[in-house]
Amino acid sequence: QSALTQPASVSGSPGQSITISCTGTSGDIGSYDSVSWYQQFPGKAPKLLIYDVTHRPSGVSNRFSASKSGNTASLTITGLQPEDEADFYCTSSTNTDALVLFGGGTRLTV
Amino acid sequence: EVQLLESGGKLVQPGGSLRLSCVASGFTISNYAMSWLRQAPGKGLEWVSTASGTGGSTFYRDSVKGRFTFYRDNLKNTLYLDMARLRVDDTAVYYCAKQMTGDPPDPFDTWGLGTMVIVS
């Protein structure tokens, strides 16, 4: 049950845009339109940011967007704000015994 | 308001057992797939187990199969995770989470605050 691959960290300045990648295989990201992204602040529970590759739950800022190409999904944050600093995790359904795979997480520094 | 509140985490010796509980409010758990996830100290999130909305199917990650059991008490609107033969690498904050529908692979749209399990 290997994890999806994310960069350990990314950084950007306020107002800039950043993109976090999430690489899987043809057995997970490549086969399912069920990629989700979660934001987690230190000591807090994760929050759903994106589901089904591109959809934002109600209340999530449109500064967060996502896409998928082949076996790689991406989360883009535009107009970076200091309060965006958090850990971000991607997930995907998988054709293995595991129901869902998580990425290792990416620490965003603004 | 949709809320989840976990409890039951504590320090336990290797080989020991523990039951975690998760009380749901603001929705009916029988209408949704529900899951347990965990996060070891300083590490990433990890899926542990999911039960479908009907309760007819339960899934576990390989490392907990045969040791953990996920129960749902629909009358009490409460989830349980029975953990046996605990290992040091089970040490983590355990979260319960609601999924968007009754379908197990669905995204986790509501999370509890978590409860800490320390195996040492």
Average pLDDT for residues A3-27, to the nearest whole number? 96
pLDDT score for A93 = 92
pLDDT score for B34 = 95
What does the DSSP 8-state code read for residue B102? S
Q: Residue B32: what residue type?
A: Y
CA distance B89 to A91: 22
Instruction: Give the nearest chain A residue to B113 (CA atoms).
Output: A45
What does the DSSP 8-state code read for residue A52? T
- The encoded tokens of residue A88 equal 């971000």
Confidence of residue A2 (pLDDT cuts 50, 70, 90): low
What is the CB neighbour count within 10 angstroms for residue A81?
12
Which residues touch A23 (CB under 8 Å, ≥6 apart)? A4, A5, A6, A29, A71, A72
Using DSSP, state whether B36 is helix, strand or coil. Answer: strand
Tens-place pLDDT, residues A56-110: 999 999 999 999 999 999 999 999 999 999 999 999 999 887 889 999 999 999 9
pLDDT score for A3 = 86
Mutate to test the interface with A, among B4, B35, B38, B39 (most CBs of A within 10 A): B39
Which ranges of chain B have pLDDT less than 70? Answer: 55
| Chain A residues with beta carbon closer than 8 angstroms to that of B111 | 45-47
**Residue of A98, A100, A105 lying closest to B44 (CB–CB):** A105
pLDDT score for A97 = 77
pLDDT score for B42 = 94
**Residue of A47, A98, A105 lying closest to B47 (CB–CB):** A98
pLDDT at residue A1 above 60?
A: no
